[in-house]
Amino acid sequence: MYLRSDHQPRGPRLPLRVAVVGGCAVALFAILFFRLWNLQVLDGDQYLAEAKNNRSREYKVIAPRGNILDRNGDVLVDNRASLALQINTGKLPSDPAAQKEELTALGELVQMPLKKVRRTIRESEEKAAGAPVTLRRDVGDDVVYYLEENQRRFPGVSVQRVFVRAYPNGDEAAHLLGTVGEISEAELKEPRYEGLEAGDEVGKEGVEETYDETLRGTPGFTRVQVNALGQPTPGGTLVNQPPEPGDSLKLTIDSTVQEAGEQAIASLGLAGGFITMDVHSGEILGLASSPTYDPTTFTRPLTQAQADSFYKNEAAPLNDRVTESLYPTGSIFKMITALAALEGGKITPSDTIEDTGKITVSGQPFANAGEEAYGTVDLVKSLEVSSDIYYYLLGLKMANSGELQKWAAKLGIGRPTGIDLPGEIEGLVPSREWRNQRYENGEVDREWSVGDNMQLATGQGDLQTSPLQMAVAYAAFGNGGMIVTPHLGLELEDAAGRPVAADEQLGEFPPQRRIKFKKRWQREIMAGLHAAAQAPGGTSYDTFKAFPIPVAGKTGTAERPPNGDQAWYAVLAPYPNPRIVTIVSLEEGGFGADTAAPVALKVLEAYFGKEAGEEAAEGEAAEGEIPAAEAEAAAESLPEATGTGVE
């Protein structure tokens, strides 16, 4: 039998295996070699930079926002430094128990229950996911020292120096100033916020929003060296690029006028607002809404109670009643009606009616307030005593021509004014076409009638406009037909208080258009408004009889069911060459002569100041009594229009 020996050669298989194993080893070595060569030679610089970055941290340094000043340079909004306790949620412990322990300890440190800490984190991440969560601002030095000594116990927690808006005058001008807050996810997608990150702060409402890019400035950064735990090393600052503060914004606001108007409205305890504007330039000297709010509240996270007090409050304290609310105007609209009727050839100033206190048209009664009868009434007298009957008849005369709607639109009613504030509402001048379309849509129970035009002629019915639009209309009437662009921005200054270069300034706010009307009509209507304010028997004579500056003013009382009557006052001053217009509107204020006119008087006293005192001394014997005949004669001194103008 042939037996195989274990020591018998096995042929060529063993060398083959050795060759294969050797080849694999060589291949692996080659791969490793080329990989090392790639890392060290080709990508060496990249990985070296990354390695260095692991030894450093870069922190954004927020730029302080520019100040907001009034026209005289007095500060309305500036900044103060604050220490803010922030949480980087991405660095919190991943273990739920450890995270709860840290947040509980942190809450105890700043006197916040765990539930509130978690809610603050959740609400902040809903607004700006990934941004540091500001748990509390204005933390004390004791908290800062404790966190520095116990950094390992609070991963993801830091104290940052931030700038917080400060308001030296409290809630004064809150609606026009606006607030500042963290940018939202929706805002991050807007082109005007390109380059910003979650957690950055931007203007919210008011001029803070309109001029945000100018006020915001440019952030800087600091790069520091850190140890293996990510903690800054002593003297480890590598780069320090300071931020560029935002430019300061000087407004057209006159703080004296602003304060006088706000205090006058506040003393009545009524909701409403006022605006005072230069009739030639559109510069707004005062603008306020009541009830107001303290913008300081928005410099720190709102509590639920605070949020409810703003957003669920029927009084709507955040709503700007000058630019964002619409009302019927009552009799201050009669200036527009009179101009439309005169320009449309429906009347002449000398045409008269016999005002018996009431009329009936198509079976519907129309009456003056209290059915007061004024006897023989012409244009000037109709404005002096505010005869509704006179204007009902004008509305009837223009019922089919559309003249009233055309002139209301020309003067800016129901149209955007172009003011440099966000949130303006357009309003409505009702017309036949508008109402009939609503009737076809089933939104109202009847079509347009002559009664609708009669109501519009007295500023009633479906008319919806704002104090801002009425200010533009009265300004255009007072300046001879120029539709100004109302604005708050005046000029920019750098951080040192110097005007910035001309090419970096705000630019012009040119008139929107010019409308034509006869200067004779302006003189006649102005005479009527002057008599209404300062002639015995005028609707606001009791308020303005002793005011030494001649003015042209009109009261208004508008029905606004289910609410109480809306009180209005519109005044151009001085008469007959006005520089300013003031409009006051008060919700449930009753008769305009009783509430709105006294507010306007306070504003004019503040504006004219010393000038009013000098006039009072010179004209003390007259005691402010200007008969209607003299008022009409004085109107002849109004200058003729200059410039060509277009429709």
Which domains are delineated in the chain?
Answer: 58-251 (3.90.1310.10), 255-293+322-353+402-431+463-637 (3.40.710.10)
Residue 359 to residue 370: CA distance in whole angstroms: 13
Q: CA of 245: how far to CAs of 184, 273, 292, 457, 637, in Å?
A: 22, 34, 29, 52, 51
Residue 221 pLDDT more than 70?
no
For residue 483, the model assigns a pLDDT of: 98
Residue 636 pLDDT more than 50?
no
Residue 338 to residue 335: CA distance in whole angstroms: 5
For residue 647, the model assigns a pLDDT of: 30
Output the six-digit token pair for 388: 């509704």
The per-residue pLDDT for range 405-440, each reduced to its tens digit, is 999 999 999 999 999 999 999 999 999 999 999 999
Residue located via tokens 């205090």: 263
CA nearest neighbour of 390 among 363, 362, 357? 357
Q: Is 526 in a helix, a strand, or coil?
A: helix
C-alpha 175, offset from chain centre: 6
Of 407-421, 600-614, 629-643, give the range with the top mean pLDDT.
407-421
CA nearest neighbour of 565 among 592, 583, 533, 540? 592
Lowest mean pLDDT among 207-221, 376-390, 585-599: 207-221
| 476 burial via Cβ count (<10 Å: 0-12, 13-18, 19+) | buried
Q: Verify cis geometry, omega within 30 degrees of 0, for the bond prior to 562.
A: yes
CA nearest neighbour of 454 among 362, 318, 571, 324? 362
CA nearest neighbour of 333 among 170, 477, 175? 477
Residue 534 pLDDT more than 60?
yes
Lowest mean pLDDT among 132-141, 388-397, 630-639: 630-639
Residue 540 to residue 531: CA distance in whole angstroms: 9
Mean pLDDT value across residues 165-192: 92
For residue 235, the model assigns a pLDDT of: 58
Residue 264's identity, in one-letter code, is: A
Output the six-digit token pair for 259: 């304060």
For residue 401, the model assigns a pLDDT of: 92
Of residues 606 and 25, more confidence is placed in: 606
Of residues 56 and 215, more confidence is placed in: 215
The per-residue pLDDT for range 457-482, each reduced to its tens digit, is 999 999 999 999 999 999 999 999 99
The per-residue pLDDT for range 360-385, each reduced to its tens digit, is 999 999 999 999 999 999 999 999 99
State the DSSP code for 240: E
Radius of gyration of the chain (CA): 36
pTM of the model: 0.82
Residue 646 to residue 557: CA distance in whole angstroms: 34
Please give the mean pLDDT across all residues of the chain: 86
CA nearest neighbour of 593 among 568, 571, 573? 568
For residue 329, the model assigns a pLDDT of: 98
Output the six-digit token pair for 413: 């009613």
Q: Give the phi and the psi of residue 644 in degrees, each rounded to 5.
A: -85, -55
For residue 89, the model assigns a pLDDT of: 81
Q: CB-hemisphere CA count at 13 Å for 557? A: 18
CB 534, CB 624: distance < 8 Å: yes
Residue 95 to residue 101: CA distance in whole angstroms: 10
* Helix or strand run (H / E) with residue 58: strand 56-61
**Which bin fits 357, alpha (ψ -120 to 50), beta or left (φ > 0)?**
left
Q: Where are the beta strands (DSSP E) in 141-283?
A: 157-166, 179-182, 201-204, 220-226, 232-241, 248-251, 272-278
Please give the full DSSP string across 161-174, using - where no structure is assigned.
Answer: EEEEEE-TTTTTTH
Q: Are strands 68-69 and 248-251 parallel, antiparallel or unpaired?
A: parallel
Cβ partners under 8 Å of residue 597, min gap 6: 540, 543, 544, 553, 555, 569, 584
Residue 510 to residue 133: CA distance in whole angstroms: 44
